[in-house]
Amino acid sequence: MKKLFILSSLSLFGLLVFGQAQVPSMIRGNGQEMPALAPGTEFYCTPDAFFGQDPISFGAFTSDVMSAFIVSDNFTGISGDITSIDWWGLTLFWNGSNWDICTENPKNFEIIFYQDNAGTPGTVVAIFNALVTGQATGNTLAGHPILKYSTTLPTAVSGLSSGWVSIQGSPQGTCSFLWEESSTGDLLALQNGSNIGTDLAFCLYVSPHIPLSNWAIILGIFLIAAFTVYRIRKRRLA
């Protein structure tokens, strides 16, 4: 009896200190909970997204500091500076046998952008910490509400035409963040460094670079040269 009491006390202590014990790496849905919504709703990337992978209610993957999981996905074809990002997911609590609804809204996130290193996250380019309020989407996964998160980056990420991004919930309570799955992509995303064989739901928005054409460069050189000649002649006549 005494041993049972000690073990129960230790289990309770561990739950209080560490929040959740043996948290699963994901939650699985049936893909049938997503109603047909028109593009532009909270369950899709907006039309001005430069890169987008829309969510689908098949599953979500745990990515939270408290749960010791981190998930990352890759992107390609970016032209311009990345200025903001949207993503979808859930905040849940693992009670030891099931996922329970857990409200932590707004929630703190750490967002990291990486260079690509032969198909894996490479050198860290930028790290952002953001307190973000999730928006209701009207959709669920295994009966739990799916939220859309959006944030403008405090500093634009430049020079990253292709790379990786990780989104990880930061410990502010007992709720784990689970990043929603997407049916769009290249079936390459990582959880704690291992390929999970699917893609995650997120959108990237950019401010485009306006490259100078060759004619604009030539015109600029000509105008500088003409102005220089004019100044020299003016001095000689003075």
Does residue 137 register a pLDDT over 70? yes
* pLDDT, position 54: 92
CB 163 within 8 A of CB 114: yes
Percentage with pLDDT > 70 across the chain: 73
pLDDT in tens, 179-219: 999 999 999 999 999 999 999 999 999 996 444 445 545 65
CA distances from 104 to 25, 172, 186, 209, 227 (A): 19, 8, 31, 37, 63
More confident: 169 or 3 = 169
Q: How many CA atoms lie within 13 A of 86 on its CB side?
A: 25
pLDDT in tens, 32-61: 555 545 454 577 898 899 999 999 888 999
| C-alpha triplet 176, 182, 186: angle, nearest 5° | 120
Measured CA to CA, the distance from residue 171 to residue 177 in angstroms comes to 10
| Structural tokens at position 150 | 């959006």
Percentage with pLDDT > 90 across the chain: 61
| Domain ranges for the chain | 18-211
CB 43 within 8 A of CB 34: yes
| Structural tokens at position 111 | 């967002």
| Structural tokens at position 66 | 């408290």
Burial 216-227, CB ≥16 within 10 A → b, else e: eeeeeeeeeeee
* pLDDT, position 56: 87
According to DSSP, the residues that pair with 72 across neighbouring strands are: 166, 190
- What dihedral angle (degrees, nearest 10) is formed by the CA atoms of 38, 39, 44, 46? -150
